[in-house]
Each structure stands twice: as C-alpha cells, then as structure tokens.
A and B are shown apart, each in its own frame.
Chain A
Amino acid sequence: MRDVFIIGVGQTPVGEHWDLGLRELGASAIDAALKDAGVESVDALYVGNMLSGSVNGQENLATLLADAAGLLPAEAFKIEAACASGGAAVRAAALAVAAGAHDVAVAVGIEKMTDGLASTVSAGLATASDQDYEASHGFSFVALSALMMRRYMHEHGRSREEFAPFAVNAHQNAVGNENAMFREPISTEDFGRSPIVASPIGVLDAAPVCDGAAAVVVCSRERLGADHEAVRIAASAAATDTIALGPRGDILTLESARHSAQRCFAATGFKPEQMDLFEAHDAFTIITALSLEACGFAPRGEALRMAENGCIASGGCIPLSTAGGLKARGHPVGASGTYQIVEASLQLRGRAGANQLAKAGRALTQSVGGHGSIAVSHILEA
C-alpha cells in the first residue's frame, strides 16, 4: 500500500444554514479544500453522509455534489456508516489512493439536518440502531446512550454532574474556533442545571442538531508538491460491534472503538501516550468517557478522573476535541468525522489559530456510529 497525504482541508461554519442546501454546503467545503491543496480536479469524490435520503429526500448524493462542485466526470459515491460516515469517507479516499486506483481524491462529510422536522431527524438518527429490536420500541439515539450512561454511573459510583468536565472543555475550546456553533463557555453549574432529555442525559451532555460540511484532499507521495503543508495518514482502521446494545458482552466497552484504535496503534507502533491530541466522538459525554477507555487513554472506569484532573484540556496529557468537538463545534452527523480530521490536520500544520497546541506532531481521530456499533479511527502525523 502507498503512503497517503492530506494536502488540503476545507470546512463551512457549523450551525443552522437556512439559506444553504446540500449542494451549496458540499460544494463550498470541497472548493475550499481544493483551493487549500492547490488542485483544480480530482480523480474521485467520496461523500460521508447519513440522512440525505430520510431528511432531505436526496440520494445519489455524491453525484449531486460532484456536479455542484464541478468535479464531473470524477468517480463519486456516498459512504454511509451512521455517525461515523465522515471518518469512513476519508478512509475510502485514503484506501483508493493507497491501493493505487487514484492519485488525488477528495472526501467530504456533509449533513443538512435543519431541512427536517425534529421528529423526522430523530427517526432518521434512530435508523443507526437495530430497527427491529430497538428503534421500533422507541429507543432513540439519545435513549441508547442514556442506558450506557446510567449503567456507567451505577458500576463506577458516579453522578451525572461528574460528566461536566467533558462539556465544559468542549465549550471552552469552541470559543477559539470561528467555525464552531456554540462559542460561549459553560460552567459546571450550567451543566448541572441543564434540562434532562432522556435520563440521565441532559441538554449539555448532548451534541446539537445542525448543518455543516468539511472536506479533505488526499494524494499519493508522487503528487506531493513543494508548497503542500502535508499531513501523513499514518494509519486508518474501521471496526464493528453488534448493531444492538443487548447482545454485547459488556455495554461499557466500545469494542468497535477499541479494535479500530488498536489497529491504528499496531500499524504505526505508537502508544496512546504518544498522541499529542485526540479528536474524540463526544456526541454525548458518556461516549467521550467510553472512547477514552476503549482507546487506552484511561483504564476502565477512570475516564472521569482523568477529566477532573485537567488531563483533557489544552496543555494536559491528552488534549481532547481542541476545536470544540461534536458537543460545541456541532455535530452535523455524517460530517463530524471529516471535521475531526480537518481540525487535527490544522493542528499538525500549526494552523489551528487561537486553539493551536504548543506540541502537535501526532493525532488520533475517532468517529463512532450507532452507539458504538461502528468506529473509524485515523492516526495523522505532521
């Protein structure tokens, strides 16, 4: 397999884009990434998206975006992997280049959620779970995470207020990200007072519904130019677990996250402690905690202690979601995995602006879908 490099990134602000549809959002992010890479055409486009069929009534989305972005007749298709779609699209682009099928490819993660009623969006998100045995019984995306959080609190003797540091850190990091949806800091007290959505999950545990698109251009070593601020994709891996929560041996171990991270560590020889930052899938505070434990940053049951100790802040032992994460940058579902890779790339290039870490040589990004039934991880290196 050939080495693969990220040579361009682009993103739209995350939020409620009432005047922009799928085609405008997608073309805007793709265009920005192509300009950043200094290329005018690509061989292939891979689109990470979950809800275009159920919320926007638009499938064949990759063709729509190839058309809108002026990439015709490039190869283009959509990759759907629930909330991990954006990470999976980057992996598809990386695989295409690594295999030698293409020399330059672009991956765009996109979601346009504000086109749908809240009930349509909830029902769409619930299709990431087992329709026969979960969604049809009323288990929403939030409810399934709530079951994991309640059990975590029970087994580890924690209260819901103790999950606050993850949300507080995310909001603090979003202050410095001009593309973030929520740029206001929150306090531990705000977190404790936030209304419950599905007990024990409150509004401030959860990432918001929103619109956004992010894109990365990848290429082979032969196509690297002298002007490129290239970031190498040192490892890429995806793994799965049971679609339903019930059949898992242990609902507090995200096996998909563990396997995909371990494959990345095995491929590079790196250890968790050698990462300078971790772009985690913080759709809910409980998922952040379980991801830290699954990837080996914290032992089982110890993620909250790590957060309490300030370990997850910029300057801590493993800075988390340095651009605000899904929680505060926003979680345009199928785009979030691509945003993570865009943000980590900017850190590694030293172009993260107000949020720039003093040391950013290696990053782990991890996109988790379907309450842990699928995870896509990448290790990026400057």
Chain B
Amino acid sequence: MQLPRFHRLRSAYYHLEGQACSACGAVQFPARRSCLACRSEELERRPLSGRGTVFSYSEAVAGFEGFAPPHLMALIELEEGPMVAAQLSDVEPEEIEIGMEVEMVTRRIRELAPQGYIVYGYRFRPRLEVEAGR
C-alpha cells in the first residue's frame, strides 16, 4: 500500500499541475525544484491544458500486474512543451499513430491488489473537440 504517495501526487495526477519558469518562460511537468532549462528556482505552479500529440507509443502484450489490457502507453508532447508518459484510453491499438492529437482525461490508472486500492489520475484519449469542430 502506498496511500501517502498517491495523496502527495494528487495535484499532478488530477490536474496535470506543472510549472512555468518566471525567468525563461519554459514550462515543465512534473514540478521540480528548479527549471530544467535555466536552473532558475522562480517557478509558478499551474495546471497544464492537457492537450498534446502522441510522440511515441507501445502496446504491452504481456500484461503488467494491476493494469488491464489493452495496455496502451504513450509519450505525449503537451502543447506547452513538456513530454509526459501516460496510458491511452478510448482508442483501439491500431488507430494510434505518432502525431495523433490527444487530450487528458481522469481515469483509473492502476489497481493495487490485493487490498483493492484504486489509483486515479491522468490518461489521454483522441481529442474530441477536433471532431466536433469539423
């Protein structure tokens, strides 16, 4: 059981909270002590938009305990710049491609057996507003 861990991570997991650097303007996720680009410690926390594109992806065939198939994983390049590793939802494995536009959704990300504790947090799905705008 790692309840304190996931409680501590709630801002990142539920709001995709990152940081904007007051010195150079770079945006980073997750929050850290200093700016990766310029090392400034003048950082402002802010939730990111959750919009991005698929930079790379993989489907795990042999499952990983606590994760139900299809187990789809991607690196998402967020529109603010940072890259985040997350599971994909609401998409068939064969539909995924590099460059696909995605958006964040809050979903179940892991079940910690045997106690049954369920961790919720960000996943990404194909962007709905793109289709609505057509």
Q: Do A and B come from one complex?
A: yes
Interface residue ranges, A against B (CB under 8 Å): 119, 122-123, 126, 131-134, 136-140, 142-144, 146-148, 150-151, 154, 195-201, 242, 244-248, 251
Contact partners of A198 in chain B: CB under 8 A: 58-62, 73
Interface flag for B28 (CB, 8 Å): yes
Q: Is the CB of A138 within 8 A of B71?
A: yes
Contact partners of A201 in chain B: CB under 8 A: 58
Q: Is the CB of A132 within 8 A of B61?
A: no
Q: Is the CB of B5 within 8 A of A134?
A: no
Taking CB as reference atom, which chain A residue is nearest B83?
A: A246
With beta carbons under 8 angstroms apart, the residue of B12, B86, B98, B119 that contacts A150 is B98
Q: Is the CB of B73 within 8 A of A151?
A: no
Q: Is the CB of A137 within 8 A of B109?
A: yes
Can you show 19 pairs from A to B with CB atoms below 8 A apart? A119-B64, A119-B65, A122-B64, A132-B30, A136-B5, A138-B66, A138-B71, A138-B73, A142-B60, A143-B73, A146-B60, A147-B74, A150-B57, A197-B61, A197-B62, A199-B59, A199-B93, A242-B36, A244-B85
Interface flag for B105 (CB, 8 Å): no
Contact partners of B64 in chain A: CB under 8 A: 119, 122-123, 126, 138, 140, 143
Taking CB as reference atom, which chain B residue is nearest A196?
A: B61
The complex places the Cα of A23 from the Cα of B100 at a distance, in Å, of 51
Interface flag for B55 (CB, 8 Å): yes
Contact partners of A123 in chain B: CB under 8 A: 64-65
The complex places the Cα of A11 from the Cα of B52 at a distance, in Å, of 49
Q: Is the CB of B56 within 8 A of A143?
A: no
Instruction: Count how many chain B residues have C-beta atoms less than 8 Å from C-beta atoms of the other chain.
Output: 36
Q: Is the CB of B109 within 8 A of A199?
A: no
Q: Is the CB of A138 within 8 A of B36?
A: no
With beta carbons under 8 angstroms apart, the residue of B29, B30, B73, B82 that contacts A139 is B73
Q: Is the interface of B mostly helix, strand, loop or mixed?
A: strand
Q: Residue-by-residue, is B99-111 near A (CB-CB < 8 Å gives 1, otherwise 0)?
A: 0000000000110
Q: Is the CB of B87 within 8 A of A245?
A: no
Q: Is the CB of A247 within 8 A of B82?
A: yes
The complex places the Cα of A123 from the Cα of B66 at a distance, in Å, of 10
Interface residue ranges, B against A (CB under 8 Å): 5-6, 9, 12, 28-30, 36, 55-62, 64-67, 71, 73-75, 82-87, 93, 98, 109-110, 119, 121
Contact partners of B110 in chain A: CB under 8 A: 136-138
Q: Shortest beta-carbon distance, A289 to chain B, in Å?
A: 15
Contact partners of B62 in chain A: CB under 8 A: 197-198
Contact partners of A247 in chain B: CB under 8 A: 28, 36, 82-83
Q: Shortest beta-carbon distance, B129 to chain A, in Å?
A: 24
Q: Is the CB of B109 within 8 A of A136?
A: yes
Q: Shortest beta-carbon distance, B91 to chain A, in Å?
A: 14
Using A247-B36, A251-B56 as known contacts, say yes or no to A139 and B98 having CB atoms under 8 A apart.
no
Contact partners of B66 in chain A: CB under 8 A: 138
Q: Is the CB of A148 within 8 A of B61?
A: no
Q: Shortest beta-carbon distance, A201 to chain B, in Å?
A: 8
The complex places the Cα of A151 from the Cα of B62 at a distance, in Å, of 21
Contact partners of B85 in chain A: CB under 8 A: 133-134, 137, 139, 144, 147, 244-246
Q: Is the CB of A137 within 8 A of B56?
A: no
The complex places the Cα of A9 from the Cα of B36 at a distance, in Å, of 42
Q: Is the CB of B82 within 8 A of A138?
A: no
Contact partners of A144 in chain B: CB under 8 A: 85
The complex places the Cα of A197 from the Cα of B59 at a distance, in Å, of 8
Q: Is the CB of B58 within 8 A of A147?
A: yes
Q: Is the CB of B59 within 8 A of A246?
A: no
Contact partners of B29 in chain A: CB under 8 A: 246
Contact partners of B56 in chain A: CB under 8 A: 147-148, 150-151, 154, 251
